[in-house]
Amino acid sequence: MTTYLFSILVLVTIASLAGLALNMQWGLTGLVNFGLFGFYMLAAYLCAQMATQLHWNPWLAMLAAVALTALASALVSLISIRLSEDYLAIVTLGFAESLKLVITYESWLTRGSLGISAIPRPVEDDTVFLALAVVLLALVFAVFELVARSPLGRTARALRDDPVVVATLGKNVLGMRLKLFALGGAAVGVAGCLHAFYYRYIDPTQFGPIITAYAFMAVIIGGRGSHRGVLLSAGTVILLLEGTRFLSDYVSWLSPSQLASLRLMLIGVGLILMLIYRPQGMTREYRLRSRRSS
């Protein structure tokens, strides 16, 4: 397997996990998370620190990082989720930016701008590592599909569409939101750990709002609430980003910075066209059909 193909497939897997996480939080439940990259960064740093500084087994480091990221997601959402979704969006973004400042300037804890290097992988072989990433993605997808088709998932969609009605029915709205937001946090935790294992080196410059933006693009293009659509769109976005690198062979008159802007512009145009001609996305979300209609 060539190094380039390996990197493309791993990036598609990581992007799919981040997209699934946001789809669980925003697509299914209606909870806006502008700070997704913060939880992604938290998981990557937790995993890297445990594996390098504490010398934990990478498997154990990943499990602990995923659990702590899910817990952090629940705690952050608990702060503002009682008020409204708008406050949650602001709080998550503030959390992410604050965390990035701490990681950048508290070098005694995170090595700051020097970053963390020599991060060990659970498996060293590239092909086996890719297989591991795909298996983790499949597990997350299967769990999320089960949740979406369960009574909890159906209630979550009702909560997203009309929270007042769900609250009047006596449902535990707060508990439901916390569970699903934490579940999304666990998925983005897996993505963050795979990021650290894949690059073997992390520093604060690798993490920013662009990660959140790509996740939102995956959900919007794939279809809000549709996990299958997120997988399709995440792969499409990554392939467009990486495939358009070869445009330099045909537009040699453009500088590297202009070419980078052109690549992003093409993806933006594709997103706009999708919103105009297929606003529901590539696929529709799962809806339980009535047996009477069959």
DSSP states of 239-259: HHHHHGGGGGGT-TTS-HHHH
User: According to the model, what pLDDT value does residue 3 have?
Assistant: 81
User: According to the model, what pLDDT value does residue 158 have?
Assistant: 86
- Tokens 């503030």 -> residue: 94
Q: Please tell me the pTM assigned to this model.
A: 0.90
Between CA 189 and CA 178 the distance in angstroms is: 16
Question: How many CB atoms neighbour CB 221 within 10 A?
Answer: 24
Closest CA to 153 of 172, 183, 180, 173: 180
Cα 103–Cα 108–Cα 110 angle in degrees, nearest 5: 35
Between CA 225 and CA 34 the distance in angstroms is: 17
Domain extents for the chain? 1-208
Tens-digit pLDDT string for the chain (294 aa): 578 888 899 999 999 999 999 999 998 888 999 999 999 999 999 999 999 999 999 999 999 999 999 999 999 988 887 766 678 889 999 999 999 999 999 888 888 889 999 999 999 898 999 999 999 999 999 999 999 999 888 888 888 887 777 777 777 888 888 999 999 999 999 999 999 999 999 999 999 999 999 999 999 998 888 899 999 999 888 888 877 777 666 777 777 777 778 778 888 888 888 888 887 788 876 665 544 443
Structure tokens at 202: 């992390």
Q: Angle between the 126-149 and 173-199 helix axes, to the nearest 10 degrees?
A: 170
